[in-house]
Structure 1
């Protein structure tokens, strides 16, 4: 925000439009008015995909470890295993 823009008609109009567009209760675009590419679900971001993959991998490795003989034996000793403390 720059105080030098106060009183500038165009700036104040664009500010009002931005506030209206950001209002979650405001009017939404009709599906048929949107470009075809925006009508479906938006793709997930690269960082979100990496995060989801890491979580799935962590869950899968934990499950696989718990099914091994060593994993079952260790769980009797420490029910938290394999925890991050265990991995250090």
Structure 2
């Protein structure tokens, strides 16, 4: 199973919906929970089906820290030079 198989799915823990998966980062699933993000270790994944990911219990404090770190990293502004590397910007 590839990482893309775990993006845009609803995440459940003990039958309760936690949120929606948005990324895989540092061996963690990043899950959007309301306005914030958390990171849940991949080793907590018990089952993945067409629409859902089922996980076991996880450390909520660690999950919040990982989610904040992911958000801060992904929210950095992109420079014109970086855009040009990927084919964006002025030609």
TM-score after normalising by structure 2: 0.21
Structure showing the higher helix proportion among its residues: 1
Comparing both chains, which one has the higher relative contact order based on Cα–Cα distances under 8 Å and sequence gaps of 6 or more?
A: 2
TM-score after normalising by structure 1: 0.22
Structure showing the higher strand proportion among its residues: 2
Which one has a bigger Cα radius of gyration? 1
